[in-house]
Amino acid sequence: MAADLSITVNGMVFENPFVLGSGPPGTNGRVIAKSFDLGWGGMVCKTISLDPSKVINTAPRYGKLRSREKEEVIGFENIELISDRPFDQWLDELRYLKKSYPGKILIASIMEEYRKDAWQEITRRVQETGVDGFELNLSCPHGLPERKMGMAMGEDPSIVEEVTRWVKEVSTIPVWAKMTPNVGHIEVPALAALKAGADGISAINTILSVIGIDLKTLRPQPTVEGYSVPGGYSGQAVRPIALRHVMEIARAKPGVTISGMGGIETGSDAVQFMLVGASTVQICTGAMLRGYEIIDELKADLEKFMTDHGFARMTDFIGKSLPFFTTHADLVARQKAAKVARAGGPGRDNETWNGAITKETAELTTN
Ligand SMILES: Cc1cc2nc3c(=O)[nH]c(=O)nc-3n(C[C@H](O)[C@H](O)[C@H](O)COP(=O)(O)O)c2cc1C
């Protein structure tokens, strides 16, 4: 039996769990339509706000970290703001997209200033277009925090709770709150959003970073007229950090709806997020670097994983790796017990340990 890649989340039926994350891949209606034609299950549009005239981007606004040998882009930094396109134009495009692609899931990413009337106005006006859900951008780490928006809200659990509650008061569709990883314990703001009624959590937004310094000019990058600001780090390099954050949220609230992201470029990357509790995954940088066409590969990878393991539905394996996270003290106790068991009883610990030495460790110890 073929693996079923569809999944229903908060009542939204995704034909597959692959969603383009908010950013350049969802910058206007035309490219969103293209992604739907190519087979993406859903899309979170670039974050929109009521008054885009306050949004002024710089050029350049991207920086890349390349691997030493292959020149492959392993990390990506941006200082891009939210959408600078007119709000009314967005409303027209969202309306058109929902009419033309009724079977695709279209989620509107929204952000506003710290005012109840603004958040409720944007919620009301955007939901009239027929979008399937909202994602609250409480997490952009650069530019917007200077206006007390984005991460300035997301790092304060009481503001996360308040803003989520404002939106939930008027929203008739599911609401996901998007978390910043630039906090010590991401589960704290995530739980605050859930307390206020959020239907799900999206994680992670980008990690505050300085991508590099130009050794000729001595200026930080990306350099705008000689100067820079810390930006948001994404792409493959952030995946282990993103996985950890998703795992922490899933363990803090078992069964919670999570849309996981951060460095996903292949189906195998995506599956790992599902194993720690994500029911959908989002891809932003991966699509920028590898193209929208990766959707075919993502679906094929996921299908192969499910077939290899005999999983018929995604719900058969979402969160399946979570029970294997424990405390360090427990690891030590388990290791001790296993050594004793392998040695056939106490007293032969050293012999068992030597047998387990890897080639690399052996080389290090003899050098
Ligand atoms: C150039 C760029 C622009 C982005 N713009 C937004 C945005 O407008 N709203 C938002 O919520 N996230 C935005 N993000 C963050 C992504 O949606 C995503 O959370 C993050 O990049 C991690 O996923 P990735 O490694 O797949 O890119 C942006 C990311 C990039 C690289």
Phi, psi of 150 (to 5 degrees): 60, -130
Same domain, 220 and 357: no
107-163 tens-digit pLDDT: 999 999 999 999 999 999 999 999 999 999 999 998 888 888 999 999 999 999 999
pLDDT above 50: residue 312? yes
| Higher pLDDT pick, 276 / 367 | 276
Q: Residue 284: which of 245, 316, 238 has the closest Cα?
A: 238
Residue 348's domain comprises: 328-366
Residues 186 and 250 grouped into a single domain: yes
pLDDT for 353 equals: 45
Pairwise pLDDT comparison (353 vs 334), residue with the higher score: 334
Mean pLDDT of 210-229: 98
Structural domain includes residue 262: yes
Nearest CA to ligand 1 atom 5: 23
- Decide: helix, strand or coil at residue 60: coil
In the prediction, which pLDDT does 147 show?
A: 86
pLDDT for the residue numbered 346: 65
| More confidently predicted of 145 and 339 | 339
Instruction: Say if 129 falls within a structural domain.
Output: yes
346 and 225 within one domain: no
Tens digit of each residue's pLDDT (9 = 90 or more) over 69-110: 989 999 999 999 999 999 999 999 999 999 999 999 999 999
Q: How confident is the model at residue 345 (pLDDT cuts 50, 70, 90)?
A: confident
Same-domain check for residues 260 and 334: no
From 82, 140, 193, 287, the catalytic residue: 140
Report angle CA 20, 24, 30 to the nearest 5 degrees: 80
Q: What is the pLDDT of residue 298?
A: 98
For residue 60, whether the previous peptide bond is cis, meaning omega lies within 30 degrees of 0, is yes
The chain-wide mean pLDDT, for the chain, equals 94
Averaged over 221-227, what is the pLDDT?
Answer: 97
Give me the pLDDT at residue 347, please: 55
pLDDT of the residue at 6 = 98
Query: Is 0.85 topped by the overall pTM?
Result: yes
Cα–Cα nearest to 106, from 40, 177, 190, 24: 40
Q: Would you say residue 272 has pLDDT above 70?
A: yes
Within a domain: 2 = no
> How many domains is the chain built from?
2
Q: Which residues line ligand 1 (CB under 6 A)?
A: 21-24, 46-47, 76, 78, 80, 82, 109, 137, 140, 178, 205-206, 234-235, 238, 261-264, 283-286
pLDDT (tens digit per residue) in 13-55: 999 999 999 999 999 999 999 999 999 999 999 999 999 999 9
pLDDT of residue 362: 43
- Read off the CATH number of the domain in which 262 is found: 3.20.20.70
Q: Residue 184 domain-assigned?
A: yes
Judgement on whether residues 267 and 306 belong to the same structural domain of the protein = yes
The DSSP bridge partners found for residue 221 are 212
Q: Which of 241, 260, 32 is nearest to 135 (CA)?
A: 260
Q: Is 284 a catalytic residue?
A: no
Q: Work out the number of other CB atoms within 10 angstroms of the CB of residue 185.
A: 12
- CA-based diameter of the chain, in Å? 75
Question: How does DSSP assign 319-340, residue by residue?
Answer: TTTGGG---HHHHHHHHHHHHH
User: 342: Cβ–Cβ under 8 A, 6 or more apart, which residues?
Assistant: 352
Please check whether residues 235 and 279 belong to one and the same domain.
yes
Tell the residue nearest (CA) to atom 17 of ligand 1. 22
| Per-residue pLDDT, 358 | 47
291 and 333, same domain (yes or no): no
Q: Give CA–CA dist 302/269, Å, rounded.
A: 10
| DSSP-assigned letter for residue 293 | T
Mean pLDDT of 198-226: 98
Read off the pLDDT of residues 277-301 as tens digits, 9 standing for 90 and up. Answer: 999 999 999 999 999 999 999 999 9
Residue 1 lies in a domain: no
> CA–CA separation, 265 vs 139, rounded Å?
22
* Candidate of 202, 259, 284, 285 to mutate for ligand 1, largest count of ligand atoms within 8 Å of Cβ: 284
Residues 42 and 109 in one domain: yes
Same-domain status, 13 and 90: yes
Question: What local confidence, expressed as pLDDT, does residue 239 receive?
Answer: 98
Residues 254 and 113 in one domain: yes
Q: Are residues 290 and 349 in the same domain?
A: no
144 belongs to a structural domain = yes
Report yes or no on 61 lying in a domain.
yes
% of the chain exceeding 70 in pLDDT: 94
Band (180; pLDDT cuts 50, 70, 90): very high
| Domain boundary, last residue among 304, 321, 338 | 321
Q: What's the pLDDT at 307? A: 98
CA of 167 to the centre of ligand 1 (A): 22
State the Cα–Cα distance between residues 19 and 261, nearest whole angstrom: 10
Task: State residue 156's pLDDT score.
Answer: 96
In a domain, 311, yes or no: yes
| Cα angle: 203, vertex 199, 146; to 5 degrees | 50
Q: Kindly state whether residues 159 and 89 are assigned to the same domain.
A: yes
- Give residue 367's pLDDT: 37
